[in-house]
Amino acid sequence: MDKHYDAIVIGGGVIGCAIAYHLARARARVLLLERGGIGQGTTAQSSCILRTHYSVPENVALAQAAWHVYADFAAYLDDPEADCGLVKCGYLIAAPEGDRAHALRESLAAQRARGIAAEEIDAATASRLLPIARLDDAALIGYEPEAGYADAWLATSAFARNARRLGAMIREGSAATGLIRERDRVLGVRTARGPIHAGVVIGAQNIWSRELAQWCGIELPLAIERHAVITLECGGAPYTRAMPVYKDLASPAMIYCRSYGGTQMLVSAGTHGEALSTPDTTQADVPLETVIDLGAQVAQRFPAYGEAGLASSWTGVYDVTPDWNPVLGPLPGIDGLLVAYGFSGHGFKLAPAIGRVLAQAALDKPTEVPLAPFALGRFATGRALRGRYGAGAVS
Ligand SMILES: Cc1cc2nc3c(=O)[nH]c(=O)nc-3n(C[C@H](O)[C@H](O)[C@H](O)COP(=O)(O)OP(=O)(O)OC[C@H]3O[C@@H](n4cnc5c(N)ncnc54)[C@H](O)[C@@H]3O)c2cc1C
C-alpha cells in the first residue's frame, strides 16, 4: 500500500520547489518528484533578473509579491542560512519614440499605482546610474530601484531545503510516468516504483509539460525555444554589480544586459529563440553570427563594448505559450490536477509568488492573486494576456 499524500508536485525546478515549500508551510503532506536533480532543468540556465516591470498588470501583481520574498529571503523562509544571492542593483529600461515609449510610460504609471517605486528619469540621471551606456537618444527611460538579479541554485535549493525541513518528501532521480485516474479525477501519479496516491497533483514540468498533456489527453499549447546567452569582457568599461540591469526596447532583439561576476556583461535577446521540436536542455553551440549580432546591438548602446571580447556563452530553453505568459491553475474537465508551466523566459522572478498561489489553489483556498486570467481556456476564448511590447519575455 503506497503512502497517501495531500499533494504531489511533479518537477523540481524553482517553480516546483517553491510550490512544495508553500504546501509544506501550509502543513500539507507533500511529495515532490524530480526525475533528475533539484534545480538542474531550465532553472539552471536562468539569467535570474528580478523586476516588477511588466506591461501585463497580472504579472506586476505576481512579480511584486515575489519581490517581497526575494528581498527578505531568510526572514521569509525563517531560515538564517537561506540566501538567494540577491544583487539589488535596480532596473533601467529605455524605449524609442512611438508605441514602446507609450507602453513604457503607461506601465510605469501602473506600477506606481501599485505602490512600486518606478520613475521616469532623464538621460543624465540614467548615465550616472549606468555610465558605460549612451542613453541620450532614448525617448523615455524608466528606473526601478527595487530590482536586480539573484542566483538560481541558491534560491531553488533554499526552497527545497525548507520544504524538507517542514516535512515535505523530495525524491530526486524519480520520474512520474503517468497519472492515476478514475474517470475525470486524478488520484495520484505512476512511477517506476509503483503508484503514489494524493489528493491533488501539480505539474511543474516546464518544457516537459507535453508529457503531462499526453497523460491527461488535453492539449497544452507550448513552444520550446532555445536561447543564447553570452558574456562580454571589456577591460575599459566593466559592468559592475552596482550598475543596474538594462533592458533596451529600442534594439531589434530587445536585448537585456546585467553584470556578470562583477566585471563582465551578460547579454541575451528578449524575443524569439530557436524553435526545438522536443524538450532538450543539452548545451548547443552559440553560432558566431549570434555573437556578432548581439555584440553589435550592445555596441550601439555601450560604445566601449565595440572592442569587447567574448568571455563565455551558453544556451537555455524557454517554455513559451502563445501569449508569452504562464498557464496556472486547474485544467478544464480534470479534477485534482493543476499546472504551472509556460513561463516563457520570465518565471524565475515570479517563482515565490507562483509557489504561494499554486499552493493556495491546490488546497482550495482563495488565491491572493487571481488565477483566472492565467487559465488555459484564455487561448480558445480570445482572452490572451498580450504584452504591450510585442512578443517577448518582458511581457
Ligand atoms: C536562458 C534563460 C534566461 C532566463 N532568464 C530569466 C530571467 O532573467 N528572469 C526570470 O524571471 N526568468 C528567466 N528565465 C526563466 C526562468 O529561469 C524559468 O521560467 C524558470 O526557471 C522555470 O522553472 P521551472 O521550475 O518551471 O522549470 P525547470 O527548472 O525546467 O524544472 C522542471 C523540472 O521538471 C522535471 N521533470 C519534468 N518531467 C518530469 C517527470 N515526468 N517526473 C519528474 N520530474 C520531471 C525536470 O527534470 C525539471 O527539473 C530564463 C530562462 C532561460 C532558459
Q: How far is the CA of 179 from the centre of ligand 1 (A)?
A: 21
CATH 3.30.9.10 for domain 91-145+223-318, yes or no, is yes
Look over the chain and give the mean of its residue pLDDT values, rounded to a whole number. Answer: 97
Specify the CATH class of 4-48+152-221+323-378 in words: alpha beta
The Cα–Cα gap between 379 and 316 comes to 26
Q: How far is the CA of 27 from the centre of ligand 1 (A)?
A: 25
Q: Would you place residue 393 in the very low, low, confident or very high pLDDT band (cuts 50, 70, 90)?
A: confident
Q: Ligand 1 test: best mutation among 51, 170, 208, 358, most atoms within 8 Å of CB? A: 208
Please report the beta strands in the chain, taking only residues with DSSP state E, as ranges in sequence order. 4-10, 30-34, 49-50, 91-95, 119-121, 140-144, 148-149, 169-172, 176-182, 185-191, 194-203, 223-233, 245-248, 256-260, 264-268, 274-276, 309-320, 327-330, 337-341
Q: How far is the CA of 281 from the centre of ligand 1 (A)?
A: 10
Q: Would you place residue 391 in the very low, low, confident or very high pLDDT band (cuts 50, 70, 90)?
A: confident
Over residues 174-195, the pLDDT tens digits come to: 999 999 999 999 999 999 999 9
The Cα–Cα gap between 181 and 79 comes to 38
What residues does each domain of the chain span?
4-48+152-221+323-378, 91-145+223-318
In this structure, the residue with its CA closest to atom 31 of ligand 1 is 13
96 has a pLDDT exceeding 70: yes
Which residue type, as a one-letter code, is found at position 198? A
Kindly state the percentage of the chain with pLDDT values over 70.
Answer: 99
215 has a pLDDT exceeding 70: yes
Report pLDDT for 2: 66
1 has a pLDDT exceeding 70: no
Cut 0.85: pTM above it: yes
Ligand 1 binding pocket (C-beta < 6 A) is 10-16, 33-36, 40-43, 45-49, 175-176, 204-206, 208, 211, 227, 229, 316-318, 343, 345-349
Same fold, 4-48+152-221+323-378 and 91-145+223-318: no
Q: How far is the CA of 207 from the centre of ligand 1 (A)?
A: 8
Over residues 344-376, the pLDDT tens digits come to: 999 999 999 999 999 999 999 999 999 999 999
Report pLDDT for 112: 98
Q: Which atom of ligand 1 is nearest to the CA of 315?
A: 1
Q: Average pLDDT, stretch 82-87?
A: 98
